[in-house]
Amino acid sequence: MHVRMRRRLLAIGLAATVLAGCSGSTEGKFGGDLYATSCARCHAPDGAGGIGPPLGPGSEASDLTDAQLRETVRVGPGTMPSFARLSDAQLDSLVEFIRSLD
């Protein structure tokens, strides 16, 4: 198999894994429950990182303003999926939970 094809298949597999881990219902979920459903698979339950970057203290995410963090979640840059379906109240609770990670 060509290296190019192998890389393409790996990227597709990674995207499928990320999306599968983020496919839980977010309806009626806030804060820690929302994080567990939508974020923990990639960013780890404690925010230490994994497939996605760390989110806790000292991370690049900790340098973002709350507005920048909300927009990052809403838009989903790079390989991160978009969470545009989240309400403003859900995004606010998620940012508050991420800020509480130690």
Report how far residue 27's alpha carbon sits from residue 11's, in angstroms, rounded to the nearest whole number: 29
Residue 18 pLDDT:
43
CATH topology of domain 3-100: Cytochrome Bc1 Complex; Chain D, domain 2 (1.10.760)
Report how far residue 32's alpha carbon sits from residue 6's, in angstroms, rounded to the nearest whole number: 37
Domain boundaries, given as residue ranges, for the chain: 3-100
Q: What is the mean pLDDT of each run of 10 residues along the chain (102 residues)?
A: 53 44 75 96 96 94 96 94 96 97 84
Condensed to tens digits (0 to 9), the pLDDT of residues 75-101 reads: 999 999 999 999 999 999 999 999 999
31 within 8 A of 93, measured Cβ to Cβ: yes
pTM: 0.75
Taking Cα atoms as reference points, which of 46, 30, 19 lies closest to residue 92? 30
Report how far residue 56's alpha carbon sits from residue 89's, in angstroms, rounded to the nearest whole number: 21
Taking Cα atoms as reference points, which of 71, 64, 58 lies closest to residue 101? 58
